[in-house]
Amino acid sequence: MAFRGLLLAALLPALAAGSAAHGQGIVGRRREGALLQTWGAALDGQGASARDTPVTRVVKLLEEMSATLGKEMDEDAALYDKLACWCNTNEYEKTNSISEAESKISELTSSIEANTAKVAELKTAIKQLEEDIASNKKALAEATALRAKEAKAFHESELGSIQSIENLKAALTVLSKHHSLLQVPKTHIMGVAATLGYQLRAHEKLLKGVLSPSQRRAVAAFVQAPADYFDAEPTFKQSYAPASGEIFGILKQMKETFESNLSQSQKDEMAAQKGYEELKAAKEELIASMTDQIETKTQELASTDEKLAQAKEDIEDTRNSLAGTRSSS
């Protein structure tokens, strides 16, 4: 027992120093107690053979203590590594989370700016399209009204021209049936004169460029005094054969002029109608296209508005999350 006390006194400082070097107060004291218990049991002869000498037992005890210390130091090192890994990982995750949040905020800010500009652009485009549609509808309505007015005027003019041509044909037929004006019944001559007089008044501007001054004077004289052709004695005027006389020629010239003008006016009317129909088709196609564009852009506007609202909500959530991460650092 005296030897064991001396050995304990010698080994205690070394054991305490080993525990302190391991750096873990309570853990060191726990180990110290365990080692002392193990050593005490060995010195009392528990678990040792009868052949072991005190020195052998001490050496064996020291070896066991060394093994125990090494094992526990390895366990402590592993625990330290785990704690260090957790700390490093946690710090990395926080840093990475902050970086990702800041990057997301930057992306969301750009998205909000882009979608805000797009919303404004789409609204402006839709408004312009609506104005263009209204303008084209107005232009088409005006063109339709003008076309209706022109068509009405043409049909009235056409009827008048056809009537004039028919009247001139009738006058020519009357004169062509007789060899001289003396053979023409008085009532027929009066009818021819009335026809000429009416046509001169109704188509004054047109006939001014068709009849020569002498022709206009002859017609005027005939219209004013058709009875001169019924004198008892034949006169120079009455000696004209109706089919080849001046009045007959003037009537024929007037008829051909009216027919030519009617034909041209009919062609013009057809061209005007065709032009209107082409204009109408183009306007209707344009209006339909712009209407489709409005529908497309309206849908795009709704989608962009939704993206913008979502981005604003996301950026608010991300900012709150970032603030929480930073405050926990």
Q: What is the pLDDT of residues 147-186, one digit of tens each?
A: 999 999 999 999 999 999 999 998 888 877 754 555 667 7
pLDDT in tens, 50-73: 456 777 777 777 777 777 776 777
Domain boundary assignment for the chain: 2-73, 119-310
The H-assigned helical ranges of the chain are: 2-22, 25-43, 54-176, 186-202, 204-208, 213-224, 246-327
In the DSSP assignment, the letter for residue 18 is: H
Least confident of 120-134, 153-167, 230-244, 295-309: 230-244
Instruction: Say which residue, 288 or 242, is predicted with more confidence.
Output: 288
Instruction: Say which residue, 93 or 264, is predicted with more confidence.
Output: 264
Beta-carbon contacts of residue 112 (< 8 Å; ≥ 6 apart) = 308, 311, 312, 315
pLDDT of residue 120: 96
pLDDT of residue 86: 53
Q: State the average pLDDT over residues 229-246.
A: 48
Instruction: Say which residue, 313 or 75, is predicted with more confidence.
Output: 313
pTM listed for this prediction: 0.59
Indicate the average pLDDT of the chain: 77
Integer CA distances (angstroms), 147 to 69, 133, 134, 209, 283, in order: 113, 21, 20, 29, 15
